[in-house]
């Protein structure tokens, strides 16, 4: 389906520039309300992260939904996975998240969850787009929707997160540092980890509307590394602005990315007899993870980049675990979407059960060096069908053998060809990546 407004993860952009404007969000709320009203008169949840524009867009969505005759429950700042959970357990008709995830404060966006706590089906998004381009009307006054705040949203989600690990586990001897990225988990994550018994040091939990993801959180873990070392903590936990990404730091200050964390959870599930189906990664998943899983007898499947595609492939192949090296980790045996807090709890549970440090747990997987080079283009090309480029790719793949791989893909958002080479030896990987990038430039006349 060709979408006019929806991307792979909702609608996102710079605040004040179409479509991320107050008038568009008003129309979006009304359009979504029309679609949901056709299914019945149940309520819709609306939550947001901590960026300053969230107040404006919350009001605009509320007005649009009300005009369409749909009741609204306002959650205030809530992690994206928390909104998915509440949508499902409160049996709301849908959940709406106002967030631009790991982006800076001047961006924002909107994404939707179904009554099942999963992404909306394509046909529902298509219906919403139809109404966006239709004249806006208001229902008769007696049928207008009503809005109210849901006061206990945070507490409900905190209890859900804690219930994702066995109550018998005691974390009293564990010191952890949490970086909330000045985002939607600032009033939730510290409570979750302290209430399971850990000693918690919190950073990045003072949102002012402008500092979300600013040199902190999952996309900038440098401050977390320094704090872990300063406090001699056992682990560091970095979440992003809306709480669906997780990057960790071990006691030595080494960063542990999404691929390594997925490997640890997969091995834990396998040893507990709870692993079913393949693990689903993406085209960017490190080859070292694929080889490590292979040694465990677990198959890795690769989806296109984006948690939407990971989720689709998990569903198709009846898997329970997948995600991206950026830190989106989906544990379908615990929840319905990527959740940074729940993924971190699974790692902590394995540390306590095994008696091993995070540094020891990740040692079973050896990451292969990767080099990524972006080649700017003036025209859109498909590198997979370019004969000259493919000849160069095949020559490098032959040299790497089964100890490396090459990935070329055109960016979906920028005029770029992304060249990625991965292999055992960093110097050769870098050499081949630069060589291939030069061949791409020559072929496209860059």
Give catalytic residues, as residue numbers: 101
Q: Check residue 38 and report its DSSP letter.
A: T
Q: Check residue 141 and report its DSSP letter.
A: G
Helix H or strand E segment including 370? strand 370-376
CA 92 – CA 68 distance, rounded (Å): 16
Give yes or no for a contact between 329 and 345, defined as CB atoms under 8 angstroms apart: no
Distances (CA, A) of 233 to 31, 225, 250, 284, 378: 49, 10, 8, 30, 49
Round to the nearest angstrom and report the end-to-end CA distance of the chain: 32
CA 416 – CA 395 distance, rounded (Å): 22
392 closest CA partner among 377, 408, 404: 408
Query: Which residues, in sequence order, are CB contacts of 389 under 8 Å at separation 6+?
Result: 383, 408, 439, 440, 443
Q: What is the CB-side half-sphere exposure of residue 266 using CA atoms within 13 A?
A: 31
């Amino acid at each position: 389906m060709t979408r006019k407004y929806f991307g792979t993860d909702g609608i996102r952009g710079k605040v004040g520039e179409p479509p991320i404007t107050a008038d568009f969000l008003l129309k979006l709320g009304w359009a979504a309300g029309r679609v949901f009203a056709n299914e019945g008169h149940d309520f819709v949840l609306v939550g947001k992260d901590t960026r300053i524009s969230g107040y404006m867009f919350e009001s605009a969505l509320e007005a649009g939904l009300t005009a369409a005759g749909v009741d609204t429950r306002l959650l205030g700042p809530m992690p994206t996975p928390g909104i998915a959970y509440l949508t499902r357990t409160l049996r709301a008709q849908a959940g709406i998240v106002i967030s631009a995830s790991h982006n800076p404060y001047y961006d924002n966006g909107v994404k939707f969850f179904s009554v099942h706590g999963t992404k909306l089906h394509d046909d529902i998004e298509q219906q919403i787009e139809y109404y966006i381009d239709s004249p806006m009307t208001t229902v008769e006054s007696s049928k207008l929707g009503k809005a109210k705040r849901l006061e206990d949203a945070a507490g409900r989600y905190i209890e859900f997160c804690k219930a994702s690990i066995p109550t018998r586990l005691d974390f009293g001897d564990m010191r952890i540092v949490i970086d909330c990225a000045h985002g939607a988990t600032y009033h939730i994550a510290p409570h979750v980890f302290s209430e399971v018994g850990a000693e918690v040091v919190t950073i990045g939990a003072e949102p002012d509307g402008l500092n979300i993801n600013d040199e902190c959180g999952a996309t900038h873990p440098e401050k977390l590394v320094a704090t872990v070392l300063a406090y001699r903590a056992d682990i560091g936990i970095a979440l992003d602005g809306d709480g669906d990404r997780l990057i960790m730091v071990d006691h030595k200050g080494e960063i542990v990315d999404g691929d390594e964390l997925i490997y640890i959870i997969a091995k834990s599930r396998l040893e507990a007899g709870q692993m079913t189906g393949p693990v689903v990664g993406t085209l960017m998943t490190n080859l070292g993870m694929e080889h490590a899983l292979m040694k465990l007898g677990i198959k890795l499947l690769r989806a296109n980049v984006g948690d939407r595609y990971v989720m689709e492939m998990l569903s198709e192949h009846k898997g329970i675990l997948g995600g991206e090296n950026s830190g989106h980790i989906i544990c379908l045996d615990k929840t319905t979407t990527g959740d940074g807090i729940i993924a971190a709890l699974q790692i902590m549970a394995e540390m306590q059960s095994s008696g091993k440090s995070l540094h020891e747990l990740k040692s079973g997987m050896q990451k292969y060096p990767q080099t990524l080079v972006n080649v700017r283009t003036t025209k859109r090309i498909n590198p997979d069908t370019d004969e000259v480029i493919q000849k160069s790719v095949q020559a490098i793949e032959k040299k790497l053998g089964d100890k490396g791989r090459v990935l070329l893909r055109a960016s979906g958002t920028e005029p770029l060809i992304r060249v990625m080479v991965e292999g055992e030896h960093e110097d050769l990987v870098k050499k081949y990546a630069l060589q291939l990038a030069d061949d791409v430039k020559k072929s496209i006349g860059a």
